[in-house]
Amino acid sequence: MFGLMQDWPLLIHRVIDHAGRQFGGREVVSRSIEGPIHRTTYGEIRARSAKVAQRLGRDGVKEGDRVATLAWNTWRHLESWYGVTGVGAVYHTVNPRLFPEQIVWIVNHAEDRVVMTDLTFVPLLEQLADRLPSVERYIVFTDAAHMPATNLKNAVPYEEWLAEADGDFRWAELDERAAAGLCYTSGTTGNPKGVLYSHRSNVLHSLSLANTDAFGLSSRACILPVVPLFHANSWSLAFSCPMYGAKLAMPGMRLDGASLFELMETEGVTMAAGVPTVWLTLLQYLQKEGKRLSTVERMLVGGSACPRALIEAFERDYGLDVTHAWGMTEMSPVGTCGSVKSQFADLKGDALIDLKTKQGFAFFGVEMKITNDAGESLPWDGVTFGRLKVAGFAVTKGYYGADNTDLLDEEGFFDTGDVATIDADGYMRITDRSKDVIKSGGEWISSIEIENLAVAHPDVLEAAVIGHAHPR
C-alpha cells in the first residue's frame, strides 16, 4: 500500500520560487566586484534567474550540460546557480585558488560548455583558454561599461546578455535525482575528484541544515557567507538562506577584517560562516582597532579544525556563540554541527570551550561510525581513534567520471579519510586526516592537538605540524 500524497519533486527552482513568493522583499546585499554596494531582493533574483535559464537555453545549453562559474560571492553568482539548474543544466563551481593546471584539468574533465566569471578572473582565463576546447562562450559578470577588452571566445557582458531575455520561462521538468551541481575536491590523492550533487540531495541537505541545532536559520536572520560559493557547495547557504528567507550579505572579493567588519555592522549581520583563517583575520582587526560587533550573535566555523584559542577569544572577549561544524565536499558538504545539547546546557568556562572544540554531532540525514583498518566498528567512548565513515541522503556514492568500485563499504558507508573519536553523547572530534596522522611506536599522535598547543602561545599566530620519518 502506498500513501496518497502528491508527487512533488524536490527541485532547486522550488527554493527560489518559494523565496520570491514568501520573502520577495527580503534583501540580498553584495559588495560588487566593480566596487559599490549592490542591493537586490529575492523577488528580483527569482526573476533574473528565470532570464538566466531562458538565455542559456537560447545559447543551446540543455539538460545535463555543465556550466562553470569562476566567481566570488555576489548576487550575480547566486542567481546564476538557479538559472543554470532551472534550464536543467549543472552548475560547476571552479575554485580559483587551485593551481592553473588543476583548473584546466577539471574544466576539461567536466566538459564545461560555458564559463560564467567575474572580472577578477578574466586574465587567468585568458591564459588558460586555448587549453579549454569544450568551452564555447565566456559570460563576464559585469555590464558593458565595465567590460574589459578580451580575446575570450564569444565573450559577452552578463547584463547585456541577460537583457536579451524577457524572463517568460518555464522551469525544466526534471527528475529530482537529476544532476544539479558539480564540485571538485582537491582533498584526495591524485587528480581532483568531481562530486555530483542532485536536486534532491541539495534540497534535503538544505532543509536539514536550517534546523535550530545546526544553522538555525529564519527570516529574521542576516547571514554573511564568507565561505565562497566555489568552496564545497557554499555550505548549502545559497539554498538554505533563500529557503527560509534569511537576508544575505555577500562579501564579494574583499575578505579582509576591515571590510568584513564594515559589512557586518552596516547590514546587521546576525550569523557569519567561514574558515578559521578568515576569523583570525577579523579577530586581529577587532583587537587592533578596539572594536566590537554589535549585531553578530553566532559564528559558524568549518573547513578545518578551529584553534581553541580562537574559540576562546570570540566566546569570552566578544560574547559570540562559536559553533564548530564539519563536513566535506562529498557530503554536500556539512555533516555535523557543534551545538550544545540539553545535557550540557549549564556548562561554562573551560568545560564549555572543551565541548565547542569538538566538531559536533550529526544532524538528521547523516549517519557516522568509526572503524579500524579491518573495517570493524569501534566504540563511541570519546577516546578510541578510528577511520571516520559516513552515510546519508546527501553523501556521495561515487565520483563523476571515475571508477567507483568499492568506494563504499559493505554497509554503504563512505570513508572520509579523517581519523576521529566519537563520544557517548554523539560528539565527534577530528584528530587528523588519515594521510597526515603521525605514528610513533604504534601510537597515533594528533597533529591538530599539537597545533592547538602551539597557537595557544601568545607569540604564535598560526601553526602547522607535519610528520617526519625518523629511523627511531
- Would you list the DSSP string of 394-448? TS-SS-TTS--TT-B-TTS-EEEEEEEEE-TTS-EEEEEETTT-EEETTEEE-HH
Q: In this structure, how many other beta carbons lie within 10 angstroms of the beta carbon of residue 168?
A: 8
3 state SS of 368: strand
Which of 176, 267, 330, 451 is catalytic? The answer is 330
Which of 120, 126, 159, 185 is catalytic? The answer is 185
What is the rounded CA–CA span in Å between residue 327 and residue 348?
Answer: 27
Provide the residue type at 24 as one letter.
G
* 263 φ/ψ angles, rounded to the nearest 5 degrees: -65, -40
What is the rounded CA–CA span in Å between residue 221 and residue 296?
Answer: 10
Provide the residue type at 174 as one letter.
L
Q: Which residues contact 1 (CB under 8 A, 6 or more apart)?
A: none
Contact criterion met (CB below 8 Å) for 367 and 393: no
- Angle subtended at Cα 172 by Cα 6 and Cα 44, rounded to the nearest 5 degrees: 100
Tell me, yes or no, if 330 is annotated catalytic: yes
What is the rounded CA–CA span in Å between residue 17 and residue 466?
Answer: 48
Question: How long is the chain?
Answer: 472
Tell me, yes or no, if 444 is annotated catalytic: yes
The CA-to-CA distance between both ends of the chain, in Å, stands at 66
Cross-strand bridge partners of residue 139 = 116, 156
Residue 120 is classified by DSSP as G
- Angle subtended at Cα 262 by Cα 235 and Cα 283, rounded to the nearest 5 degrees: 70
Tell me, yes or no, if 405 is annotated catalytic: no
Which of 189, 410, 439, 443 is catalytic? The answer is 439
What is the rounded CA–CA span in Å between residue 46 and residue 54?
Answer: 13
Tell me, yes or no, if 105 is annotated catalytic: no
Beta strand residue intervals within 261-354, DSSP E = 271-274, 298-301, 321-327, 334-337
Which of 150, 188, 444, 449 is catalytic? The answer is 444
| Sign of the dihedral defined by the CA atoms of residues 320, 321, 326, 329, in that order | negative
Provide the residue type at 281 as one letter.
T
Residue 78 is classified by DSSP as H
Known catalytic residues are 185, 330, 439, 444
